[in-house]
Structure formats: C-alpha cells, structure tokens
Amino acid sequence: MSSMTGNKLKISIFGESHGEAIGVVMDGLPSGLEIDLSFIEKQMARRAPGKNNISTGRSEGDLFRIVSGIFEGRTTGAPLCAMIQNQDTRSRDYSELKIKMRPGHSDYTGHVKYSGFNDYRGGGHFSGRITAPLLFAGSLAMQILENYKGIYIGSRIQKIYTVEDSTPFEESEECVLNLRNKEFPVIGDEASQNMQQEILKAREEGDSVGGVAETLILNVPAGYGEPFFDSVESRLSHMMFSIPAVKAIEFGEGFNMANMKGSQSNDPYMMQGTRVITSTNNSGGILGGITNGMPIKFRTAIKPTPSISKTQKTVNIEEMQNTTLQVTGRHDPCILHRAIPVIDGAAALVVLDLILEREGEIIR
Amino acid sequence: MSSMTGNKLKISIFGESHGEAIGVVMDGLPSGLEIDLSFIEKQMARRAPGKNNISTGRSEGDLFRIVSGIFEGRTTGAPLCAMIQNQDTRSRDYSELKIKMRPGHSDYTGHVKYSGFNDYRGGGHFSGRITAPLLFAGSLAMQILENYKGIYIGSRIQKIYTVEDSTPFEESEECVLNLRNKEFPVIGDEASQNMQQEILKAREEGDSVGGVAETLILNVPAGYGEPFFDSVESRLSHMMFSIPAVKAIEFGEGFNMANMKGSQSNDPYMMQGTRVITSTNNSGGILGGITNGMPIKFRTAIKPTPSISKTQKTVNIEEMQNTTLQVTGRHDPCILHRAIPVIDGAAALVVLDLILEREGEIIR
Amino acid sequence: MSSMTGNKLKISIFGESHGEAIGVVMDGLPSGLEIDLSFIEKQMARRAPGKNNISTGRSEGDLFRIVSGIFEGRTTGAPLCAMIQNQDTRSRDYSELKIKMRPGHSDYTGHVKYSGFNDYRGGGHFSGRITAPLLFAGSLAMQILENYKGIYIGSRIQKIYTVEDSTPFEESEECVLNLRNKEFPVIGDEASQNMQQEILKAREEGDSVGGVAETLILNVPAGYGEPFFDSVESRLSHMMFSIPAVKAIEFGEGFNMANMKGSQSNDPYMMQGTRVITSTNNSGGILGGITNGMPIKFRTAIKPTPSISKTQKTVNIEEMQNTTLQVTGRHDPCILHRAIPVIDGAAALVVLDLILEREGEIIR
Amino acid sequence: MSSMTGNKLKISIFGESHGEAIGVVMDGLPSGLEIDLSFIEKQMARRAPGKNNISTGRSEGDLFRIVSGIFEGRTTGAPLCAMIQNQDTRSRDYSELKIKMRPGHSDYTGHVKYSGFNDYRGGGHFSGRITAPLLFAGSLAMQILENYKGIYIGSRIQKIYTVEDSTPFEESEECVLNLRNKEFPVIGDEASQNMQQEILKAREEGDSVGGVAETLILNVPAGYGEPFFDSVESRLSHMMFSIPAVKAIEFGEGFNMANMKGSQSNDPYMMQGTRVITSTNNSGGILGGITNGMPIKFRTAIKPTPSISKTQKTVNIEEMQNTTLQVTGRHDPCILHRAIPVIDGAAALVVLDLILEREGEIIR
C-alpha cells in the first residue's frame, strides 16, 4: 500500500511533480461535518513554496478545488476528493537527472523499484510536492478534531542544524495556536533568528540544513489506540515516516529515557480533581500503545534537503560509471518550516482515525 | 488491528500472562520451506526469563509446540500456529494491582480502554511475555531470510543507562552472527562489563535501567518497499513500536542528521564493480521509503522496566484517590538484552513481508 | 489473506485435519461482554459429525477450550483464542490420495498452489473440519448480537437435491429459534422426511447430494454497510464463499428479480407507526449496499459432498496419467444440515463487524 | 472501506453524480506496462449512456483524462488517477427527491446512513454513473491481462426479463472478443431481438426490466486464489456485489448443483497432453477457493432499473407520511447491456490482483 493508508478513515494520494495535477481522496469521513475551506487554505499556505528567501523559488499557489464529498458546506459521507493543478512545471531539460542519480534523493531507489519507468521529472511521485494533498487531508482532519472534539495539534521547530530552541514547549492550546500564525514557527525569538541565519548561510554555500520538529496533541482522552500492532506510537510513526525526509521519531523522552532509571522515567499518577493525570509526561501520553489522557508528544528529525547546488559524486546508471553532478534550479535550503503543517496534518489523520475506530462513524 | 499485522505475511498473536497459553498464527508463509526448529529454540532461549541474575526470576521454558502449518519438516502454506503453555503462573494475590495503577505500565490505559474488564493479572495481554510468540514468528522469518535469501539480521546493545559502547558495529555477517552467541550481546567487552554492573546496581537499588539497541539488516537488495505510506521506515517503525517499552527509533544517522549539512548527509553513489553502492550510509539503507541495497540500520530506545520495587506515587482507581504502591515480586532490572532477539525477529517479519510483496508467494 | 478476515472484528483460523489441533483467534471483540459457553457448545453440536446415519461416522466431540480473551466469564478485549484438539485422526494410509486427485475436492488446486507441500491427509487445511473454529467464532458473535443488540440469525434447509420445502420462511424470532432445536432444520415436516430419504438413498448409492439454505437476519437497523466495495452483499457473500462447498448466493429475490419488472421488484415504502418499512422485501433488506431495516435474507447453494464411494475418473499427478479412484472411508452423503450453523455464525461475524464499524468498539 | 478495495492492486473511486467530476485512483500497478487508451475508450463507450433508444437520454461522453501514473505511454508504478468531468448535470429541481424516497433506490438507506447529509442529486455517490471510473480501472486491468498474461474476459447477456438465450457460451477467445463488438452483447440473434423488444416494451410502459449476465475468464492458470477467506469466489463476489443492481451470483453450475448428485457434479480430471483438465466444468474453474486451470465461469443477476416513471407508493421522510411518487426524467428501461463491460472490468481487477499477489509486482 504505497499511496493509500488508514483503517476507518482512509486516504489515497496521487500525482507526480510534473503531471497534470496532484490530489487526494478521503474515504470514511463522517457525514454532516461543517468544513471551513479557508482553514485548510491557511494551513496549505504555510507549506506553499515561493514565499520568501528561505524557501524554493518555485511558485505554486497550491490552490485546491473540491471535486466531491462536500455538499452545501458539509461532508456528505461519500469520498472527498481534492485536486491541485500543477502550474509552474518548467519544461526544462531533465535528461541529465534521468541518468545521474542525485545523492540523498529517491532517484536511484525509484529507478530500481520501477525498472526505470518512473516519471523522473522533478522527482515524479517522490516529489515533496506530493505532501500538498497530504496536507490538505490532514488540515481537514485537524479542523474536525478542533471543532468537534476539542483536540489541538501543533508543532514547533525545536532545532535547525546546530541551533536549538531551549524554550520549553508549553502544553496549552494558546501556544499551539500561536505557532500557526508565525511564518517561521519557533517559540524563542533569538533561536528563531539564529536558525534563519543558518538557513541563509546554507543557501549561500549552495548547501542545506535539516532539524527537529516537536509536536503536541492536546486533549485526546485516555483509552484510544491498541496494544501491540496498532499502538499509537506505531500508527503515528508509520504516518510520520511517510513524510519524505523524516528519519527519526521519539515519543515523550524517547532516546533520553535510556539516561533515566525506572524511578525517574515512570510517570507517577495523581488525582487532579476527579481526573487521573501524571505529574510528569516522560511517556509522551502513551502507555501500552494506548493514550493515557496526557498530551501526546513526539519529536521528528528532518534531514537536510538533498537538493544542493554543490558538486556531488554519483553514478551514471546508463553507463554504470562514476561521475559528478551539480544540481541546478530552485531548491529549498531547508524544508523543516514547510514540513511543520504537514506533520500536524498527518498526525491529525491518525488521531481522527483512532477516534472513528473507537467511537464509530457518527460525529456530531 | 491490535493483534494482527502484515500485508502478505500476516501474523496474529494471542494470550494473556496468566491464561492457559500464548501463541501466534502466521498466515501467508510460502510452502515447502524447510524449518529448523532448533534455530527458533535458540532465539527464544535468548529472550527466556530466569537465566541469570540480570533478569527476572520467573522461570519459563518458553517451550513452543507447532499446532499446524508444518508437515514433514516443511511449511505447508497453510496457517502456522505455535503455542506456548503458561506454566509458572503463581497464584498470588493480584487484588492490589487491580486498583492501584503501576506507573509506567499499561494498567491504567488498559483499564480505561477495556472499561475494567481486561485481565489485569501479570499485565494480561499487555505483558512483555506476549513478545515470546512474536519472537517465535520472527525467528521463523529470520531463518527463511537467511537460508533462502542470504539476508542476515542482528542487533547489539549500544547503550545501557549512561554506559555507551563506542565500538563500531561492523557491517558483516560474522559480526551479526557473533552477537547471537553472546549471552549479553554487546560488542565491546569493557562496555559489556560496565553495562552489566549498571544493571546489577539498579537491581540492588530496587530500580531499573533502559538503553539503546542498534540493528543491522544485511543483503536486502535495492528496490524493496514503497514510497509514502508503506515506506520501509514506516513499516519497520510500526513493527518496532509494537514491542512494549520501545519509545524511539532512528534510521541511519537519524536525529544526528540534523547536525549535518546536505553536503555531508547525502550519501554519494559510486560503483563497486558492477554494483551501485554509497560511500557513506547516513540514510540507513533507505531512500524515498525504498531500500538502496546498503545495510538497513536503525536504533531503538528501550525505556527502563517500569516494574521497580521502590515505593511509587499512584492512584487507587476504585476510590479515585492518591496512594502509594510498592510492587513486589520478580522483575527484570533491565529488559534490553532480552528484547534484542525480539527486535531482530520483528524486523525479519517486516523484511520477509516486503520480499513476498515484491517477489510473489513462491520462494525456493 | 487466506485465513484472516474482518475489518474491526478480525478472525484468524488455523489448523489441518490431521494436525494436533484446529482453532481460531478473534481480535477486536468489545470488552465486558458476558459469554455463555453452553450457547456455543449447542451450536457446535449441530455441526459435529457422527451424530446419526445421515452424517459421517468420524466421531469428534469438537470440544473447544478457551485459551485467552475471557476472564471471569466476560470478554477482556484482548484476542480470544479457542482451540479444538483433533482426536479421531485415523492413522490410515493416505499415499493413494497424495497422487490421485479426488474430483470435486481441492486436492489438485491445493497441490498446485502449494507446490505439493500441502498436508494432504484428510484434506489438510482445506478440510470441512476447519469450519469448526469458524463456527466457534460465529456462535460467539451470534450470541453477542442476540444478547446485546436483539439481532437474530437463523437458516433453514430449503432444498435437498430435487426436494424443495415450499413452506414460507416466517420472518419471526420464534421461527428462527425453532430451527435451532431441530436436528434437521427444515420447516415443513413432509419436506423434511423426503429430504432425509434422499440423503439416505444417496448414501446407499455411494453418492451424495447438496441443496439450498435460506438465511434470515432479523432486527438489523437501517444504515449499516457501505456503498460500493463494502456493500452488505459484498461482505456477506465474501464470507459465505469462504465456507467450503458454497457455490452460489442470492439476496432477496436474487435471480428471480430477472423475472420481474421494476414496478414489481421495487419494494414500496410505507409507514408502520413511526417506522419506515417496505411492504415487500424483494431486495432482501439491502439497498445501495446498506441495510434498510427490513430482514436481511439470502439463499446459498451447497454442492453435493465431493467425497463419494463410487468409482471416479481422475489423474495420477505423479505419473501424469489418467486413472480411476474409489474413495473409501467415512463420508457425509450430505453436509447441508451440518453447514447450517456455520452459515448462521459466519453471517453473525459480518453483522457484528458492521455494527462495530458504525457504532464503535464499546458495546454494553 | 466503501470506496477503496484490493490487496496488492488497490483502487479508490470518488465522485457524485452532480459534482464536478468522478474518478478513480489505481495503486499498485506494475511499472512499464504499455497502455493503449483507445482500448479503454472502447470499453467505456459500451457503457456510455445516450447511445440509443434502449438507454437513458442523458448524454455524457464519459471522456476521461489521465491525471497521473502514465508517462511516455507506460505505467510509472505510481498511483494512476483518471478523471471524468460531469457535463450534462441538468440543474433541475431535486427538492422532491430529497424528501420522497424512490423505491428500489438507495435514497432511504443513504439518508439514514449519512443522516441526511448525502448529496441526493441524481443519487449522488450511489449513482450508477460511478461505475464509469470503475470501468476505467477495470478496462485498464483487462488490457494488461490480455497483453501480458493472455487472459481474456467477456460477458454475454443470457437473459432479459423472461427471454433466455439458450445458445451455449463457447469457451473461446473468439467468442469472448466477438461479444465486445456487439452493441447488444447477446450470442443468439433471435434471443437478442426478443430481448430488445422486451426492453422497448418496458420503456413504453414506463417500466423496466433486469436480467442475467454470464461471464467467462479464460486462461487463468491453476493455483491462484486462497482457501477460506480469500477464495476466488469470495473475491469475485465481493467485487460483483459492489456493482449497483447486482443481487445474485453463482459460480459454475451454482444453484443448479443442488439438482445434481456428487457423481454428476464432481468434475472428473483427465490428461490433455501434459496438462490436467476436467472433462466437465461444473465448479466454474474454482475448487477449494483456488483456480484449477479451467475457465472461470459465473452468472450474475441484475435487478430491473429502479427508476421507472410509473406512479409508486413511498414515504415522505420529512413528514414521515405515506405518499406517492412519479419519477420523471431520463431513465434506462434496462441497464444490463451497459453493465456488461463493468462486470468484465471488475472481474479483471480481481484477477490482476490475484496474479500480483502470487507472482509479485513485476510484470513484463
């Protein structure tokens, strides 16, 4: 299942970078849900390229249109399809990229997987551009979670290259919502400046940088998810690694848990009024694969954008010989800030699916 | 799907810690494959409790028996079921654990998820003991990969608490096979001693420690896996987070990729004879969700065993009041060394599934 | 997916006719449901062989034991495994059946599918005996539907060979429940006698007969199921054709609809108090793939038991030559009456799955 | 899973009768396959409305365009999306149909399922029009089967209302291919005339008729499919009941098997040169859920088109009162001839999926 996923809420994405259009089908959406398309547009604008000097120059409005599944402003319950036309597909010469494999990209693996028949132009179906329909679907799910379930999801950039933001990520709706209004979603202002400096520096060097995103999901009740093969961690990680460039994920204290003893890492339970909470949240809101009612918390690592203009060593797969490659054209020196809304939306798809599985298909 | 997983090769695990038996059904195994049960027994012995003073005192032979699916020493193609009787189920008093939620365990989340009807004795279906049938299935898959595909999988303990093994993990079959013969699978001898010291120290303190495992999968050809939702990272992480206590995973350089620039993190391609390889392996053998022919490499964090004998703060969910709890009984001060073969086997299940999906259901 | 099925309620069956045991795992059962095992025993007794002269002489108690998933009389929410030991596996000589393919059986197709490695003894995994664990799971589901949802399922034999029962199948719980208490579940007494005569006659001739079952599912509310690929007809037919020997299914008037005009076949709606009903039920309770609140009604054709003692033409697949075969041993001259509870249970599994998908995982 | 189906070859359909467009996404297609779009156009023309006086007057070219997945005339391996714009969507008044439920249609079940939020215009997502994208996908699969596997699929009308075609359905490629060139795919000429007379008569009466289709799948080798839950019958029936108006299916002799004894119904094996065949084909090419190498054969019943212009009794669901309804507008007096290519294509999707599962993802 390469392009379809989900249990009760299923999505199917399609499209290639230089084809006619890209899009997504969502199956299993409850009927009767009010959808505010401007909410989705705002999220998509956060990912859209060409906004400023820290992103690629490719200019795509990423304007979607609803093909099916919404009637009189509400979901019909039938499959919802949204399409985004490809507009700015420069008819440049891709013949070099057909035979010289870009390091760090899927050119070579795609070539082997599809025996050379893949559409190599602009990365084809492997293009980061395919995250636009994923973001559409995710933003729609995020909106449903907020309006019908009071569940809020938000991510911040916690690190770019070697610059970390040591400001804590406050577990509040306000903090999460504030991040959405920032063009560069970092909490600490100084860190934000330094991170952007690193990106610009990388751009000047013809190089690129990556970083770490930190995500919070607020107000998911206890009892969602499954033990073993459909643990919340399994489901979320499965989805996160579907986003190109994600190479690591940790829940709660993650790798840092190895530095703790059980007496430190175990989150003690306590009563908060009539509600059971934990006084720490090292587990990131998940125990035994199931939510415990505390905020779900995870961090993902995004690798540096593989498209750089520096000369790189590679192979010519037609002649099966060593060669060098200098990738030209429009590239992002960093994609983390553009990936942030995609991460949020992808998480929302998983959470909404978990809810539909536990609560059934009717949401009001 | 809590207890079933897989696309073409499906497994279904069942059982509760204090029930009659635990087991696994494997569906979709190719027919005609020779199975050496002693290979599986050896792997299961590595996980089995009660071996030494760094593990729990619960003594279970973990003896499995084949219920179906093998005939005259070979797989029949029909579902293979293996069962493990529960033997050493002390009829102790579990009434305290029914109402006092153990911190770091799934007691509370299981209680909410199943509305209090879950079998709480010994953790029930959430017990780490349920990894035994997973290990059975995984070891069977691992054996098939080795004998029919030349694919080798092995993991080492890279860190216990604050002790790291700085010895590099050689990407060779020999190194991988050596680890299987070690009772405590650490490469560096000095690190091994220090790690075991930390475990014993934790035991003395009534506490526990966790750590980090590092896994290698050798000889998977290029072209396996899918872009997006069934990326190799998605599939492997989904499976790894099904193993209780895993809280983080990173592929290749993972979180460390954030510290690199694109010019460093991109793995340059080069020819090795007629074969395309990369001169570094920061991506951990996976690009665009698809294998590139280099060793697959990932690290997983295992949290400290939540069962500790130190007094902990918790709640009584019957009276909904704060209370304290001192867990008595047999506990592992560390489970990482016992989890190692489970990680290997779980990875083997994913890899065999990827192979069957790409190559079809006939293996000879 | 040969041995696993289901969306939210999944089952996994395993076992071979002459192996140690056969069984089933049920995943996704709601927790806290009271299970009366004697209900299941009664249903299984209806299928059990060796009861009388119209069935096989193989004597199996079909005694199951619960391996997991039930605690203090209620479902725990964890996978429920039930096992049935194989007892009466005569160690006769199967060497002839290994090479001479029984016509009408899966011997040849199994041989090709599994390259000759399938367990051929007694049909192996293809044995009708594997319907016993399916029946276990189905009876458990049927019980839940009755006790928690007021949904009743029952089937009658409508035809054996050329003898039809023209008595109408009354759409009442009473009629459905009465059938369960009949050893030979036919409504009309005279038809029942004649049908049994045909079976005995076939037995005397060393031959066999088949027939038609008619099934009713009462009290499923409107709105369950999906348009297109998960239509209620798709789901039920998928399940029914999983029962060996089923070769046809029709919903409502089925093939007879071809003899009607739209003005006859369309079921007119009318109010019954505050409830919308239809005055006829030609559609069998399903429109657009979704239940309309009327009884679900379908008929299935069961082919004559392929095991007959008459000499038959076949091939020797070792020598690839024509030959003849006379099957000896214990055989059913008709299996329809034994298949009836299996059909009921299999239908129950589908209906319970539809309910869990629509209503969520909590049933009280 | 309402709008997505398939194991290795997955499809996702979307669209509503009066929305912007309808379409399909195909995931899991092998790469490098040459696609002749005119083949698909021809199949779609067979279904397209508005051709003659035995079909609806709605005039839609059913012109599709490829959005993704084909590059330089071959499949890329990435999801293939095809779209069909809705053109002739008369902006008539649907307010009556919103509250008066058309008998035999999904109006009422869709209303309950989606709590009244479904797009009721023209049947919305339940419209027979949604079979156009299904047909697109099916025709593409059919073409691959023919060109790369030598597998041919074709259906004939065997019965319309009470008129049956007693001409036998010859199991030859020629016969199958001839049917495709007939505007009204009946083998016997006299029967064809009489059937069309019945359709015209029904049209004059403001009524409709249904019928029976018979389908052949030639040259599928032995050994494809699975025992139990993924039997070939299960898979094909699941798919066939996804086509609106299908109410029955039988494989081989189907219901007629009940009229046979085992000695008649068992298909004797015999050698044909070096190949094992059966001298009769009562089983329809499937034994134990697995193909036996003989032609796969099944019959499906299509109910009379529910849209008739005769006055019908129904309910007003707003006022919850009895009422009458006279449906006006363009309707098919019979849809069987238009459904024929859809049945062929839907069968092709299942067969191609079975092949990919058994043989792997590479087809050359």
Tell me the pLDDT tens digit for each residue of D181-231.
999 999 999 999 999 999 999 999 999 999 999 999 999 999 999 999 999
Whether residue C290 and residue D112 make contact (CB cut-off 8 A), yes or no, is yes
pLDDT digits (tens, 9 = 90+) for D3-50: 999 999 999 999 999 999 999 999 999 999 999 999 999 999 999 876
Which of A92, A91, A84 is closest to A61 using CA atoms? A84
Give the phi and the psi of residue C22 in degrees, each rounded to 5.
-125, 160
Q: What pLDDT shows up at residue B77?
A: 96
Tokens (6 digits) for B217: 């999968």
| Whether the predicted pLDDT of B55 surpasses 90 | no
- Chains near C with 3+ CB pairs less than 8 A apart are A, B, D
Q: Give the one of A257, A274, A290 whose C-beta lies nearest to B113's C-beta.
A: A290
Whether residue D248 and residue C249 make contact (CB cut-off 8 A), yes or no, is yes
Report the gap between the CA of D72 and the closest CA in chain C (Å).
Answer: 32
Residue A275: helix, strand or coil by DSSP? Answer: strand
Please report, as a single letter, which amino acid is at residue A265.
S
Q: Distances in Å between the alpha carbon of D360 and those of A5, B361, C17, C38, D101?
A: 20, 7, 30, 46, 47
Residue B261 is classified by DSSP as: B
Q: What pLDDT shows up at residue B61?
A: 65
Q: Which residues between 229 and 288 in chain B have a beta carbon less than 8 angstroms from any beta carbon of chain A?
A: 229-231, 233-235, 237-239, 241-242, 244, 246-255, 257-271, 274, 276, 278-279, 283-284, 286-288
Report the gap between the CA of C132 and the closest CA in chain D (Å).
Answer: 13
Whether residue C209 and residue D130 make contact (CB cut-off 8 A), yes or no, is no
Tell me the chain C residues in contact with residue A363 when contact means C-beta distances shorter than 8 Å.
Answer: none
Whether chain B has a CB inside 8 Å of the CB on A317: the answer is: yes
| Whether the predicted pLDDT of B91 surpasses 80 | no
Whether residue C263 and residue D289 make contact (CB cut-off 8 A), yes or no, is no
Q: Which residues between 59 and 88 in chain B have a beta carbon less than 8 angstroms from any beta carbon of chain D?
A: 78
**What ipTM was estimated for this complex?**
0.96
Percent of chain C with pLDDT over 70: 95
Please give the interface size between A and D, counted as residue pairs whose CB atoms are below 8 Å apart: 171
Tell me the chain C residues in contact with residue A7 when contact means C-beta distances shorter than 8 Å.
Answer: 7
Residue B81: helix, strand or coil by DSSP? Answer: strand
Which of A3, A341, A313 is closest to A139 using CA atoms? A341
Whether residue B258 and residue A212 make contact (CB cut-off 8 A), yes or no, is yes
Please give the interface size between A and C, counted as residue pairs whose CB atoms are below 8 Å apart: 19
Q: Distances in Å between the alpha carbon of B316 and those of A272, A282, B307, C330?
A: 13, 21, 17, 60
Contacts of D170 (CB under 8 A, 6+ apart): none
Number of neighbours of residue A109 by Cβ within 10 angstroms: 28
Tell me the chain B residues in contact with residue D7 when contact means C-beta distances shorter than 8 Å.
Answer: 7
Contacts of B246 (CB under 8 A, 6+ apart): A233, B240, B300, B301, B302, B339
Distance CA C200, CA A111 (A): 65
- Chains near A with 3+ CB pairs less than 8 A apart are B, C, D
Whether chain B has a CB inside 8 Å of the CB on D164: the answer is: no
Distance CA A292, CA B103 (A): 11
In chain A, which residue ranges form alpha helices assigned H by DSSP? 37-47, 95-99, 107-113, 131-144, 173-181, 189-204, 232-240, 262-265, 336-359
Report the gap between the CA of D253 and the closest CA in chain B (Å).
Answer: 28
Give the phi and the psi of residue B191 in degrees, each rounded to 5.
-60, -40
Q: What pLDDT shows up at residue B296?
A: 98
Distance CA D32, CA D76 (A): 6
Tokens (6 digits) for D346: 């839907």
Distance CA B273, CA D262 (A): 63
Whether residue A23 and residue D81 make contact (CB cut-off 8 A), yes or no, is yes
Q: What is the mean pLDDT of chain C?
A: 94
Tell me the chain D residues in contact with residue B227 when contact means C-beta distances shorter than 8 Å.
Answer: 78
Q: Residue A298 pairs with which residues in a beta bridge?
A: A215, A251
pLDDT digits (tens, 9 = 90+) for A300-353: 999 999 999 999 999 999 999 999 999 887 789 999 999 999 999 999 999 999
Percent of chain D with pLDDT over 90: 87
CA torsion through residues A264, A266, A271, A274, sign: positive
Tell me the chain B residues in contact with residue D78 when contact means C-beta distances shorter than 8 Å.
Answer: 227
Q: Give the one of B1, B79, B362 whose C-beta lies nearest to C10's C-beta.
A: B1
Helices C232-240, C336-359: inter-axial angle, 10-degree rounding: 140
pLDDT digits (tens, 9 = 90+) for B131-181: 999 999 999 999 999 999 999 999 999 999 999 999 999 999 999 999 999
Distance CA D359, CA C6 (A): 25
Residue B160: helix, strand or coil by DSSP? Answer: strand
Whether residue D358 and residue B362 make contact (CB cut-off 8 A), yes or no, is yes
Distance CA B74, CA B30 (A): 10
Whether residue C68 and residue B113 make contact (CB cut-off 8 A), yes or no, is no
Number of neighbours of residue A291 by Cβ within 10 angstroms: 26
Which of D62, D26, D74, D33 is closest to D349 using CA atoms? D26
Whether chain B has a CB inside 8 Å of the CB on D357: the answer is: yes
Tokens (6 digits) for D271: 């050698």
Q: What pLDDT shows up at residue B206?
A: 95
Whether residue A3 and residue D21 make contact (CB cut-off 8 A), yes or no, is no
Q: How confident is the model at residue D91 (pLDDT cuts 50, 70, 90)?
A: low
pLDDT digits (tens, 9 = 90+) for A72-84: 999 999 999 999 9
Distance CA B226, CA B249 (A): 19
| Whether the predicted pLDDT of C58 surpasses 60 | no
Distance CA B11, CA C27 (A): 12
Residue of D nearest to C326 (CA): D263
Three-state secondary structure string covering chain D: CCCEECCCCEEEEEECCCCCEEEEEEECCCCCCECCHHHHHHHHHHHCCCCCCCCCCCCCCCCEEEEECEECCEECCCCEEEEEECCCCCCCCCHHHHHECCCCCCHHHHHHHCCCCCCCHHHHHHCHHHHHHHHHHHHHHHHHHHHHHCCEEEEEEEEECCEECCCCCCCCHHHHHHHHHCCCCCCCHHHHHHHHHHHHHHHHHCCCECEEEEEEEECCCCCCECCHHHCHHHHHHHHHCCCCCEEEEEECCHHHHHHCEHHHHCCCEEEECCEEEECCCCCCCEECCEECCCCEEEEEEECCCCCCCCCEEEEECCCCEEEEECCCCCCCCCCHHHHHHHHHHHHHHHHHHHHHHHHCCCCC
- Chains near D with 3+ CB pairs less than 8 A apart are A, B, C
Residue B297: helix, strand or coil by DSSP? Answer: strand
Element spanning B49, H or E: none
Whether residue C267 and residue D103 make contact (CB cut-off 8 A), yes or no, is yes
Whether residue D241 and residue C259 make contact (CB cut-off 8 A), yes or no, is no
Of the candidate ranges B67-81, B221-235, B326-340, the one whose mean pLDDT is the lowest: B326-340
| Whether the predicted pLDDT of B19 surpasses 80 | yes
Whether residue C233 and residue D241 make contact (CB cut-off 8 A), yes or no, is yes
Give the phi and the psi of residue C302 in degrees, each rounded to 5.
-110, 125
Q: What is the pairing mode between strands C4-5 and C10-15?
A: antiparallel
Tell me the chain A residues in contact with residue D68 when contact means C-beta distances shorter than 8 Å.
Answer: 14-16, 19-22, 125
Give the phi and the psi of residue C45 in degrees, each rounded to 5.
-65, -30
Tell me the chain B residues in contact with residue D358 when contact means C-beta distances shorter than 8 Å.
Answer: 360-362
Q: What pLDDT shows up at residue A49?
A: 75
Contacts of B273 (CB under 8 A, 6+ apart): none
Class of the CATH domain delimited by C4-359? alpha beta
Give the phi and the psi of residue D75 in degrees, each rounded to 5.
-65, 140
Residue of D nearest to B28 (CA): D226
Please report, as a single letter, which amino acid is at residue A38.
S
For the residues D276-283, what does the mean pLDDT come to? 98
Residue A169: helix, strand or coil by DSSP? Answer: coil
Q: Which residues between 119 and 138 in chain D have a beta carbon less than 8 angstroms from any beta carbon of chain C?
A: 125-126, 130, 134
Q: What pLDDT shows up at residue D96?
A: 87
Tell me the chain C residues in contact with residue A288 when contact means C-beta distances shorter than 8 Å.
Answer: none
Distance CA D36, CA A162 (A): 53
Whether the CB-CB separation of B217 and A264 falls below 8 Å is answered with no
Q: Distances in Å between the alpha carbon of B172 and those of A146, B152, B216, B223?
A: 50, 9, 9, 21
Report the gap between the CA of C72 and the closest CA in chain D (Å).
Answer: 32
Which of B108, C36, C339, C258 is closest to D160 using CA atoms? C258
Angle at CA of residue D25, ends D22 and D31, nearest 5°: 145
Q: How confident is the model at residue A48 (pLDDT cuts 50, 70, 90)?
A: confident
Contacts of D58 (CB under 8 A, 6+ apart): D49, D50, D88, D330
Number of neighbours of residue B65 by Cβ within 10 angstroms: 14
| Whether the predicted pLDDT of C202 surpasses 90 | yes
| Whether the predicted pLDDT of B57 surpasses 80 | no
Tell me the chain A residues in contact with residue B278 when contact means C-beta distances shorter than 8 Å.
Answer: 103
Tell me the chain D residues in contact with residue B361 when contact means C-beta distances shorter than 8 Å.
Answer: 357-358
Tell me which of A119, A126, A361 to substitute to probe the interface with D (most D C-beta atoms closer than 10 Å): A119
Residues present in chain D in total: 364
Whether residue C14 and residue B25 make contact (CB cut-off 8 A), yes or no, is yes
Contacts of D294 (CB under 8 A, 6+ apart): D267, D277, D278, D281, D283, D285
Report the gap between the CA of C6 and the closest CA in chain A (Å).
Answer: 12
Whether the CB-CB separation of B330 and B206 falls below 8 Å is answered with no
